């Protein structure tokens, strides 16, 4: 008897299956296989050593959850035909295929394009290769298909992307606060007026989901050491890029060398889609790590200093604040950087300022809608016992070498 599915053993969900046909063929495609070499949570393993899982793992997990969501909705009488079910699974499988090395960290550093733009371009390229079999998946991904709830399952405040990454990242980091009742939430999903809703009895599970997401952001994704490592990686690539474009020799693997030498924007990708997608698809975490290891011996002292620190976990200090830092403090740090005997000349460029924000729940996107027991559909923010405030939490940060000390500005 011919098998209809490929069975895989996933550490988070146990046995998961991939139907043979277009879905399996997409998983086998080199563009998708590349995701094996792109870490899901960038440099988070500098803090949580087990966080070495990849975008490949995540995409397959999201596909698994999408299958469960489709089956649950169909059992409740929601009309999803075979073609639509396959298309929404394709959309979630490929939703992150446009990610570059170390996921979000190097967006707008190596290339000036967002990963969602590139994901769509990859889908369109694959659609050409598979003779139009991704037409419906692309419509769903773009939110242009008549059944809007299918798009919400791919990208929304209760989508299968978030369901998987919270569970998966919690598992691999060991941060138990991120564990969510994904199975119960999926079973509580329904559709009303062509919109995804959650049944009223699932409200507390959704609240736990939103709380877990907020905790994971501050405890994992925006952990101060993780942010410091990511800012150093950005500085390394910026320095290598600036040297390369100024005509200096900067060794790099071929895929990386191209993007160091050339400024590539989203418009370039649209104009030269096939050529640039192939260049981009040749680039993954391995290229960056190999280059940074080599740059420890580069004659440029700034590049060598940053590269050595990143490879050997000699990371910058990072300070968070609920308010912008005083100008006098910034001036003091700049002076300390310029005068330090332990830092190379030009180290003033090592003072990085920025801000990070996190919203457990936002009103800017489509709200989570609740299907009450009497059949009414109301927004989550209007439910009386909703205990999570729909607001953005913002923190300002400063990042700089530990060599000058945190109180350097006060000593000036």
pLDDT tens sequence across 202-245: 998 998 999 899 899 999 999 999 999 999 999 999 999 999 99
How far apart are the C-alpha atoms of 136 and 345, rounded to whole Å? 56
Q: Which of 374, 329, 377 is nearest to 353 (CA)?
A: 329
Q: Which residues contact 310 (CB under 8 A, 6 or more apart)?
A: 229, 232, 233, 236, 292
Specify the CATH architecture of the domain 224-264+282-355+398-411: Up-down Bundle (1.20)
The answer, yes or no, to whether residue 407 has pLDDT greater than 60, is no
pLDDT-based confidence at 291, cuts 50/70/90?
very high
42 Ramachandran zone, left/alpha/beta (phi>0; psi -120 to 50) = left
Residue 367 confidence (pLDDT):
87
For residues 280 and 132, what is the distance between their CA atoms, to the nearest angstrom?
A: 23
Residue 366: predicted pLDDT: 82
Q: Is the pLDDT of residue 405 over 80?
A: no
State the burial class of residue 144 (Cβ atoms within 10 Å of its Cβ: 0-12, 13-18, 19+): exposed
Closest-CA residue to 214 (of 385, 357, 390, 359): 359
Order of strands across the sheet with 392-400? Answer: 317-321, 392-400, 352-359
pLDDT averaged over the chain?
A: 93
Under 8 Å between Cβ of 231 and 316: yes
Domain boundaries, the chain: 5-223+384-395, 224-264+282-355+398-411
* DSSP H helical ranges for 220-298: 224-245, 254-261, 266-271, 273-281, 285-295
- Which neighbouring-strand residues pair with 107? 111
C-beta contacts of 183-189 below 8 A and 24+ residues apart: 183/68, 185/158, 185/209, 186/65, 186/68, 186/69, 186/72, 187/72, 189/69, 189/72, 189/73, 189/158
- The whole-number pLDDT of residue 1 equals 59
Residue 363 · residue 390 · CB < 8 Å:
yes
CATH number listed for the domain at residues 5-223+384-395: 1.10.3210.10
Top pLDDT among 207 and 140 is at 140
SS3 call for 195:
strand
Of 32-36, 92-96, 137-141, 360-364, the least confident: 360-364
Our separate counts of H helices and E strands in the chain read 18, 9
Does 179 have pLDDT greater than 90?
Answer: no
Phi, psi of 183 (to 5 degrees): -65, -40
The arithmetic mean of pLDDT across residues 385-400, rounded, is 80
pLDDT tens profile 24-42: 999 999 999 999 999 999 9
pLDDT at 177: 84
* Tens-digit pLDDT profile for residues 299-341: 999 999 999 999 999 999 999 999 999 999 999 999 999 999 9
Residue 350 above 70 pLDDT? yes
- What is the CA angle 295-172-184, rounded to 5? 145
- Read off φ and ψ for residue 41, nearest 5 degrees: -120, 40
User: At residue 406, does pLDDT exceed 80?
Assistant: no
Contact 346, 334 (CB under 8 A): no
Confidence bin at 387 (pLDDT 50/70/90): low
Average pLDDT over residues 389-409: 80
The predicted structure's pLDDT at residue 409: 43
Mean pLDDT of 80-109: 94
Q: Which residue has the higher pLDDT, 247 or 359?
A: 247
pLDDT tens, position by position, 105-126:
888 888 899 999 999 999 999 9
């Amino acid at each position: 008897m011919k098998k209809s599915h490929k069975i895989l053993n996933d550490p988070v969900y146990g046995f998961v299956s991939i139907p043979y046909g277009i879905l399996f063929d997409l998983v086998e495609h080199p563009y998708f296989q590349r995701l094996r070499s792109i870490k899901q949570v960038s440099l988070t393993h500098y803090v949580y050593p087990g966080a070495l899982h990849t975008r490949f793992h995540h995409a397959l997990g999201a596909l698994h959850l999408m299958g469960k969501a489709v089956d649950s909705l169909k059992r409740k009488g929601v009309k999803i035909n075979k073609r639509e079910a396959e298309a929404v699974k394709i959309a979630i499988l490929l939703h992150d295929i446009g990610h570059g090395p170390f996921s979000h960290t190097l967006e707008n550093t190596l290339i000036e394009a967002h990963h969602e733009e590139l994901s769509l371009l990859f889908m369109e390229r694959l659609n050409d290769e598979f003779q139009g079999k991704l037409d419906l998946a692309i419509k769903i991904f773009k939110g242009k298909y008549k059944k809007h709830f299918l798009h919400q399952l791919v990208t929304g405040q209760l989508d299968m992307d978030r369901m998987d990454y919270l569970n998966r990242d919690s598992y691999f980091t060991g941060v138990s606060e991120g564990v969510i009742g994904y199975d119960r939430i999926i079973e509580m999903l329904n559709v009303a007026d062509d919109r995804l809703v959650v049944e009223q009895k699932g409200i507390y599970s959704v609240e736990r989901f939103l709380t877990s997401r907020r905790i994971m952001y501050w405890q994992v994704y925006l952990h101060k050491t993780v942010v410091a490592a990511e800012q150093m990686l950005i500085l390394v690539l910026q320095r290598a890029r600036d040297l390369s474009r100024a005509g200096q020799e900067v060794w790099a693997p071929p895929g990386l060398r191209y993007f160091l030498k050339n400024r590539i924007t989203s418009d370039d990708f649209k104009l030269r889609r096939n050529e640039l997608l192939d260049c981009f698809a040749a680039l993954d975490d391995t290229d960056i790590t190999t280059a940074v290891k080599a740059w420890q011996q580069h004659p440029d002292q700034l590049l060598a200093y940053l590269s050595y620190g990143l490879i050997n976990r000699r990371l910058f200090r990072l300070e968070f604040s609920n308010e912008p830092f005083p100008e006098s403090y910034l001036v003091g740090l700049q002076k300390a950087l310029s005068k330090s005997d332990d830092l190379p000349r030009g180290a003033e460029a090592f003072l990085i300022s920025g801000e990070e924000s996190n919203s457990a729940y936002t009103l800017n996107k489509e709200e989570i809608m609740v299907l009450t027991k009497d059949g009414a559909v109301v927004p989550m923010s209007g439910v009386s016992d909703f205990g999570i405030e729909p607001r953005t939490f913002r923190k300002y940060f400063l990042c700089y070498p530990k060599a000058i000390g945190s109180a350097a500005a006060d000593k000036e």
